[in-house]
Amino acid sequence: MHTPARLRPKRLHGNESGVAPGTLSPHDAAQPSRFHLIHYDPDGVREVAEPDLAAAREALGPTGVTWIDVQGMADTQRIQEVAGLFGLHPLAVEDGVTQHQRAKAEAYPDHLFVVVRMPDGEDPSETEQLSLFIGAHYVITFQEHAGDCLDPVRARIRHGQGRIRRSGPDYLAYALLDAVVDRYFPWVEHNDAELARVEDAVLGGTAEHSVIDTLARLRRRFARLRRLLGGLSDCLDDLREADDALVCEDTKVYLRDALDHLQRMLDQVEHDRETAAGLLDYHISRVNHEMNDVMKLLTVVSTVFIPLSFMAGLWGMNFGWMPELKWDAGYPMALGLMGLVSVAFLRWFRKKGWI
Protein backbone atom coordinates (compact mmCIF):
# COMPACT_ATOMS: atom_id res chain seq x y z
CA MET A 1 0.00 0.00 0.00
CA HIS A 2 1.30 3.44 -0.90
CA THR A 3 0.90 6.58 1.19
CA PRO A 4 -0.03 9.47 -1.09
CA ALA A 5 0.89 12.98 -0.02
CA ARG A 6 -2.66 14.12 -0.82
CA LEU A 7 -5.99 12.41 -1.22
CA ARG A 8 -6.21 11.27 -4.79
CA PRO A 9 -9.33 12.05 -6.85
CA LYS A 10 -11.08 9.43 -8.89
CA ARG A 11 -8.61 8.16 -11.48
CA LEU A 12 -9.19 9.01 -15.11
CA HIS A 13 -7.49 6.31 -17.18
CA GLY A 14 -6.26 6.80 -20.69
CA ASN A 15 -6.77 3.05 -21.23
CA GLU A 16 -9.75 1.35 -22.75
CA SER A 17 -12.60 0.48 -20.44
CA GLY A 18 -12.00 -2.68 -18.41
CA VAL A 19 -8.19 -2.59 -18.60
CA ALA A 20 -6.51 -3.30 -15.27
CA PRO A 21 -5.05 -0.30 -13.38
CA GLY A 22 -1.34 0.11 -14.03
CA THR A 23 -1.56 -1.08 -17.64
CA LEU A 24 0.40 1.18 -19.98
CA SER A 25 -1.46 2.25 -23.12
CA PRO A 26 0.23 5.05 -25.08
CA HIS A 27 -1.98 7.51 -26.93
CA ASP A 28 -2.18 7.46 -30.71
CA ALA A 29 0.19 10.41 -31.16
CA ALA A 30 2.89 9.01 -28.85
CA GLN A 31 6.38 9.46 -30.28
CA PRO A 32 9.12 6.77 -30.35
CA SER A 33 10.85 6.42 -27.02
CA ARG A 34 14.43 7.63 -26.58
CA PHE A 35 16.32 6.71 -23.41
CA HIS A 36 19.33 8.58 -22.07
CA LEU A 37 21.25 7.67 -18.92
CA ILE A 38 23.55 9.96 -16.93
CA HIS A 39 25.38 8.62 -13.89
CA TYR A 40 27.52 11.03 -11.91
CA ASP A 41 29.33 11.53 -8.65
CA PRO A 42 31.87 14.13 -7.46
CA ASP A 43 34.61 12.39 -9.45
CA GLY A 44 33.05 12.13 -12.88
CA VAL A 45 30.14 11.61 -15.27
CA ARG A 46 29.15 8.67 -17.43
CA GLU A 47 26.51 8.96 -20.16
CA VAL A 48 24.86 6.15 -22.10
CA ALA A 49 22.50 6.71 -25.01
CA GLU A 50 19.77 4.08 -25.36
CA PRO A 51 20.95 2.03 -22.34
CA ASP A 52 19.81 -1.56 -21.94
CA LEU A 53 18.70 -3.04 -18.65
CA ALA A 54 22.21 -4.23 -17.86
CA ALA A 55 23.60 -0.69 -18.16
CA ALA A 56 20.76 0.69 -16.04
CA ARG A 57 21.30 -2.02 -13.41
CA GLU A 58 25.02 -1.28 -13.34
CA ALA A 59 24.38 2.44 -12.83
CA LEU A 60 21.93 1.76 -9.99
CA GLY A 61 24.32 1.48 -7.07
CA PRO A 62 24.85 2.80 -3.55
CA THR A 63 27.04 5.66 -4.74
CA GLY A 64 26.42 8.49 -7.15
CA VAL A 65 23.18 9.59 -8.81
CA THR A 66 21.55 8.02 -11.86
CA TRP A 67 19.29 10.08 -14.11
CA ILE A 68 17.35 8.24 -16.80
CA ASP A 69 15.48 10.55 -19.17
CA VAL A 70 12.75 8.99 -21.33
CA GLN A 71 11.51 11.12 -24.24
CA GLY A 72 8.52 9.70 -26.07
CA MET A 73 5.95 7.28 -24.63
CA ALA A 74 5.50 4.78 -27.47
CA ASP A 75 7.79 1.97 -26.21
CA THR A 76 5.75 0.91 -23.19
CA GLN A 77 7.57 -2.43 -22.90
CA ARG A 78 10.95 -0.79 -22.26
CA ILE A 79 9.31 1.71 -19.92
CA GLN A 80 7.83 -1.15 -17.90
CA GLU A 81 11.21 -2.88 -17.77
CA VAL A 82 12.91 0.23 -16.41
CA ALA A 83 10.04 0.81 -13.97
CA GLY A 84 10.34 -2.76 -12.73
CA LEU A 85 14.11 -2.45 -12.28
CA PHE A 86 13.74 0.65 -10.10
CA GLY A 87 10.63 -0.59 -8.30
CA LEU A 88 8.35 2.21 -9.43
CA HIS A 89 4.71 1.93 -8.45
CA PRO A 90 2.64 0.80 -11.48
CA LEU A 91 -0.10 3.37 -10.86
CA ALA A 92 2.47 6.17 -10.84
CA VAL A 93 4.09 4.80 -14.02
CA GLU A 94 0.68 4.72 -15.68
CA ASP A 95 0.13 8.37 -14.73
CA GLY A 96 3.59 9.23 -16.03
CA VAL A 97 2.81 7.71 -19.42
CA THR A 98 -0.79 8.98 -19.61
CA GLN A 99 -0.76 12.58 -20.75
CA HIS A 100 -2.75 15.57 -19.48
CA GLN A 101 -2.42 14.67 -15.82
CA ARG A 102 -2.98 17.40 -13.27
CA ALA A 103 0.09 18.82 -11.54
CA LYS A 104 0.71 16.81 -8.37
CA ALA A 105 3.29 15.31 -6.03
CA GLU A 106 2.70 11.89 -4.48
CA ALA A 107 4.72 9.97 -1.90
CA TYR A 108 5.31 6.22 -2.15
CA PRO A 109 7.25 4.08 0.34
CA ASP A 110 10.62 4.39 -1.40
CA HIS A 111 10.18 7.13 -4.00
CA LEU A 112 8.34 10.33 -4.87
CA PHE A 113 6.29 10.95 -8.02
CA VAL A 114 5.86 14.48 -9.42
CA VAL A 115 3.93 15.69 -12.46
CA VAL A 116 4.24 19.26 -13.81
CA ARG A 117 3.61 21.05 -17.09
CA MET A 118 6.79 22.16 -18.83
CA PRO A 119 6.91 25.07 -21.33
CA ASP A 120 7.33 23.78 -24.85
CA GLY A 121 7.54 26.81 -27.12
CA GLU A 122 6.92 30.54 -27.15
CA ASP A 123 3.21 30.43 -26.32
CA PRO A 124 1.64 29.43 -22.98
CA SER A 125 -0.76 27.16 -24.84
CA GLU A 126 2.24 24.95 -25.73
CA THR A 127 3.24 22.78 -22.78
CA GLU A 128 4.18 19.17 -22.29
CA GLN A 129 3.93 16.88 -19.32
CA LEU A 130 7.09 16.23 -17.32
CA SER A 131 6.93 13.36 -14.83
CA LEU A 132 9.68 12.74 -12.26
CA PHE A 133 10.39 9.73 -10.07
CA ILE A 134 12.75 10.56 -7.21
CA GLY A 135 14.38 7.72 -5.32
CA ALA A 136 17.28 7.25 -2.94
CA HIS A 137 19.90 7.17 -5.72
CA TYR A 138 18.05 7.99 -8.93
CA VAL A 139 15.79 10.35 -10.81
CA ILE A 140 13.72 9.13 -13.77
CA THR A 141 11.96 11.63 -16.03
CA PHE A 142 9.27 11.01 -18.63
CA GLN A 143 8.56 13.55 -21.39
CA GLU A 144 6.11 13.54 -24.27
CA HIS A 145 8.68 14.14 -27.00
CA ALA A 146 12.29 15.09 -27.64
CA GLY A 147 13.53 18.57 -26.77
CA ASP A 148 13.14 20.37 -23.46
CA CYS A 149 14.40 23.22 -21.29
CA LEU A 150 16.65 20.98 -19.17
CA ASP A 151 19.90 21.37 -21.12
CA PRO A 152 21.33 23.86 -18.56
CA VAL A 153 21.04 21.12 -15.91
CA ARG A 154 22.80 18.62 -18.17
CA ALA A 155 25.58 21.15 -18.78
CA ARG A 156 26.04 21.72 -15.03
CA ILE A 157 26.36 17.96 -14.51
CA ARG A 158 28.86 17.52 -17.34
CA HIS A 159 31.05 20.44 -16.30
CA GLY A 160 30.69 19.99 -12.56
CA GLN A 161 29.25 23.46 -12.06
CA GLY A 162 27.71 24.34 -8.73
CA ARG A 163 26.92 21.72 -6.13
CA ILE A 164 24.87 19.38 -8.28
CA ARG A 165 27.51 16.61 -8.53
CA ARG A 166 28.14 16.78 -4.79
CA SER A 167 24.46 16.44 -3.97
CA GLY A 168 21.88 13.70 -4.12
CA PRO A 169 18.94 12.96 -6.41
CA ASP A 170 16.68 15.32 -4.46
CA TYR A 171 18.89 18.24 -5.50
CA LEU A 172 18.83 17.00 -9.12
CA ALA A 173 15.02 16.96 -8.98
CA TYR A 174 15.08 20.50 -7.58
CA ALA A 175 17.44 21.61 -10.39
CA LEU A 176 15.11 20.12 -13.02
CA LEU A 177 12.04 21.77 -11.52
CA ASP A 178 13.90 25.06 -11.10
CA ALA A 179 14.79 24.94 -14.82
CA VAL A 180 11.07 24.55 -15.56
CA VAL A 181 10.33 27.53 -13.30
CA ASP A 182 12.98 29.64 -15.05
CA ARG A 183 11.48 28.74 -18.44
CA TYR A 184 8.23 30.42 -17.43
CA PHE A 185 9.95 33.78 -16.84
CA PRO A 186 10.20 34.72 -20.57
CA TRP A 187 6.49 33.93 -20.98
CA VAL A 188 5.52 36.15 -18.08
CA GLU A 189 7.79 38.99 -19.23
CA HIS A 190 6.64 38.74 -22.87
CA ASN A 191 2.97 38.84 -21.93
CA ASP A 192 3.57 41.70 -19.49
CA ALA A 193 5.32 43.70 -22.23
CA GLU A 194 2.49 43.00 -24.68
CA LEU A 195 -0.06 44.11 -22.08
CA ALA A 196 1.93 47.33 -21.48
CA ARG A 197 1.77 48.15 -25.21
CA VAL A 198 -1.96 47.54 -25.28
CA GLU A 199 -2.41 49.63 -22.13
CA ASP A 200 -0.58 52.58 -23.72
CA ALA A 201 -2.79 52.33 -26.81
CA VAL A 202 -6.02 52.10 -24.82
CA LEU A 203 -5.22 54.94 -22.42
CA GLY A 204 -3.82 57.05 -25.25
CA GLY A 205 -6.98 56.66 -27.30
CA THR A 206 -5.14 55.08 -30.26
CA ALA A 207 -6.42 51.53 -29.78
CA GLU A 208 -8.05 49.84 -32.74
CA HIS A 209 -11.28 47.86 -32.58
CA SER A 210 -9.29 44.60 -32.55
CA VAL A 211 -7.89 45.53 -29.11
CA ILE A 212 -10.92 43.83 -27.56
CA ASP A 213 -9.84 40.52 -29.09
CA THR A 214 -6.25 41.14 -27.98
CA LEU A 215 -7.28 41.82 -24.39
CA ALA A 216 -9.56 38.79 -24.31
CA ARG A 217 -6.72 36.63 -25.60
CA LEU A 218 -4.34 38.04 -22.98
CA ARG A 219 -6.86 37.37 -20.22
CA ARG A 220 -7.12 33.72 -21.29
CA ARG A 221 -3.34 33.50 -21.45
CA PHE A 222 -2.92 34.95 -17.95
CA ALA A 223 -5.58 32.59 -16.59
CA ARG A 224 -3.74 29.60 -18.08
CA LEU A 225 -0.40 30.84 -16.76
CA ARG A 226 -1.87 31.24 -13.30
CA ARG A 227 -3.20 27.70 -13.42
CA LEU A 228 0.13 26.28 -14.62
CA LEU A 229 2.22 28.21 -12.12
CA GLY A 230 -0.23 27.42 -9.31
CA GLY A 231 0.07 23.69 -10.00
CA LEU A 232 3.85 23.90 -10.08
CA SER A 233 3.82 25.85 -6.81
CA ASP A 234 1.69 23.17 -5.14
CA CYS A 235 4.14 20.47 -6.26
CA LEU A 236 7.16 22.32 -4.88
CA ASP A 237 5.30 22.96 -1.65
CA ASP A 238 4.49 19.24 -1.35
CA LEU A 239 8.16 18.37 -1.91
CA ARG A 240 9.10 20.69 0.94
CA GLU A 241 6.82 18.60 3.15
CA ALA A 242 8.25 15.28 1.92
CA ASP A 243 10.10 12.85 4.15
CA ASP A 244 13.68 13.87 4.95
CA ALA A 245 14.88 10.48 3.74
CA LEU A 246 14.05 11.50 0.15
CA VAL A 247 14.33 15.30 0.31
CA CYS A 248 16.94 16.56 2.74
CA GLU A 249 16.72 19.86 4.62
CA ASP A 250 19.43 21.51 2.51
CA THR A 251 17.42 20.85 -0.67
CA LYS A 252 14.24 22.16 0.97
CA VAL A 253 15.98 25.52 1.37
CA TYR A 254 16.48 25.63 -2.41
CA LEU A 255 12.90 24.55 -2.98
CA ARG A 256 11.79 27.49 -0.85
CA ASP A 257 13.83 29.80 -3.10
CA ALA A 258 12.17 28.34 -6.22
CA LEU A 259 8.79 28.83 -4.54
CA ASP A 260 9.67 32.47 -3.94
CA HIS A 261 10.41 32.92 -7.67
CA LEU A 262 7.13 31.24 -8.51
CA GLN A 263 5.21 33.45 -6.12
CA ARG A 264 6.65 36.57 -7.72
CA MET A 265 5.56 35.33 -11.13
CA LEU A 266 2.12 34.43 -9.79
CA ASP A 267 1.77 37.93 -8.32
CA GLN A 268 2.79 39.46 -11.66
CA VAL A 269 0.41 37.24 -13.63
CA GLU A 270 -2.47 38.01 -11.27
CA HIS A 271 -1.76 41.74 -11.52
CA ASP A 272 -1.60 41.52 -15.32
CA ARG A 273 -4.85 39.53 -15.44
CA GLU A 274 -6.64 42.17 -13.37
CA THR A 275 -5.09 44.93 -15.49
CA ALA A 276 -6.26 43.25 -18.69
CA ALA A 277 -9.77 42.89 -17.28
CA GLY A 278 -9.77 46.55 -16.21
CA LEU A 279 -8.50 47.73 -19.59
CA LEU A 280 -11.15 45.68 -21.35
CA ASP A 281 -13.90 47.23 -19.22
CA TYR A 282 -12.40 50.71 -19.67
CA HIS A 283 -12.14 50.35 -23.45
CA ILE A 284 -15.72 49.07 -23.74
CA SER A 285 -16.94 51.95 -21.53
CA ARG A 286 -14.99 54.44 -23.62
CA VAL A 287 -16.40 53.08 -26.87
CA ASN A 288 -19.91 53.21 -25.41
CA HIS A 289 -19.33 56.78 -24.22
CA GLU A 290 -18.14 57.87 -27.66
CA MET A 291 -21.14 56.15 -29.21
CA ASN A 292 -23.43 57.94 -26.76
CA ASP A 293 -21.85 61.27 -27.79
CA VAL A 294 -22.53 60.47 -31.43
CA MET A 295 -26.07 59.39 -30.68
CA LYS A 296 -26.66 62.57 -28.65
CA LEU A 297 -25.42 64.72 -31.53
CA LEU A 298 -27.61 62.88 -34.00
CA THR A 299 -30.57 63.21 -31.64
CA VAL A 300 -30.03 66.98 -31.35
CA VAL A 301 -29.81 67.36 -35.12
CA SER A 302 -32.92 65.23 -35.61
CA THR A 303 -34.85 67.18 -32.94
CA VAL A 304 -33.93 70.52 -34.52
CA PHE A 305 -35.05 69.37 -37.96
CA ILE A 306 -38.41 67.94 -36.82
CA PRO A 307 -40.20 71.36 -36.57
CA LEU A 308 -38.38 72.56 -39.70
CA SER A 309 -39.66 69.53 -41.59
CA PHE A 310 -43.17 70.20 -40.28
CA MET A 311 -43.05 73.86 -41.42
CA ALA A 312 -41.61 72.95 -44.82
CA GLY A 313 -44.27 70.27 -45.25
CA LEU A 314 -47.03 72.67 -44.21
CA TRP A 315 -45.95 75.33 -46.69
CA GLY A 316 -45.31 72.79 -49.37
CA MET A 317 -48.88 71.46 -49.50
CA ASN A 318 -50.45 71.89 -52.95
CA PHE A 319 -53.52 73.94 -51.99
CA GLY A 320 -54.81 76.46 -54.48
CA TRP A 321 -54.56 79.36 -52.09
CA MET A 322 -52.27 80.00 -49.08
CA PRO A 323 -51.62 83.37 -47.47
CA GLU A 324 -47.88 83.30 -48.04
CA LEU A 325 -48.11 82.47 -51.74
CA LYS A 326 -49.06 86.06 -52.70
CA TRP A 327 -46.62 87.71 -50.32
CA ASP A 328 -43.26 88.86 -51.69
CA ALA A 329 -41.56 88.43 -48.26
CA GLY A 330 -43.06 84.97 -47.71
CA TYR A 331 -39.96 82.99 -48.66
CA PRO A 332 -37.49 85.07 -46.57
CA MET A 333 -40.00 85.04 -43.72
CA ALA A 334 -40.21 81.23 -43.82
CA LEU A 335 -36.44 80.85 -43.80
CA GLY A 336 -36.10 83.34 -40.97
CA LEU A 337 -38.75 81.61 -38.90
CA MET A 338 -37.00 78.28 -39.42
CA GLY A 339 -33.73 79.86 -38.30
CA LEU A 340 -35.33 81.32 -35.18
CA VAL A 341 -36.85 77.97 -34.29
CA SER A 342 -33.46 76.25 -34.74
CA VAL A 343 -31.69 78.83 -32.56
CA ALA A 344 -34.41 78.56 -29.90
CA PHE A 345 -34.04 74.77 -29.76
CA LEU A 346 -30.24 74.94 -29.58
CA ARG A 347 -30.33 77.50 -26.76
CA TRP A 348 -32.82 75.38 -24.87
CA PHE A 349 -30.60 72.27 -25.29
CA ARG A 350 -27.59 74.22 -24.02
CA LYS A 351 -29.56 75.49 -21.02
CA LYS A 352 -30.47 71.88 -20.18
CA GLY A 353 -26.81 70.88 -20.49
CA TRP A 354 -27.45 68.44 -23.31
CA ILE A 355 -24.89 70.07 -25.63
**What digits encode the pLDDT tens for the residues 172-217?**
999 999 999 999 999 899 889 999 998 988 888 777 778 888 898 8
Q: What is the mean pLDDT of the chain?
A: 83
Report domain extents, the chain: 34-284, 297-352
pLDDT grade, residue 13 (50/70/90)? very low
Tell me the CATH class for 34-284: alpha beta
pLDDT at res. 5? 38
Q: What pTM was estimated for this model as a whole? A: 0.77
Helices (H) and strands (E) in the chain, counts: 8, 7
CATH class, 297-352 region: mainly alpha
Q: What is the pLDDT of residues 229-240, one digit of tens each?
A: 999 999 999 998
Q: How many CA atoms lie within 13 A of 263 on its CB side?
A: 8
* Residue 9: predicted pLDDT: 36
More confident of the two residues 235 and 29: 235
- The pLDDT confidence band at residue 2, using thresholds 50, 70 and 90, is very low
Closest CA to 66 of 120, 126, 15, 141: 141
Residue pair 71/146 in contact by the 8 Å Cβ criterion: yes
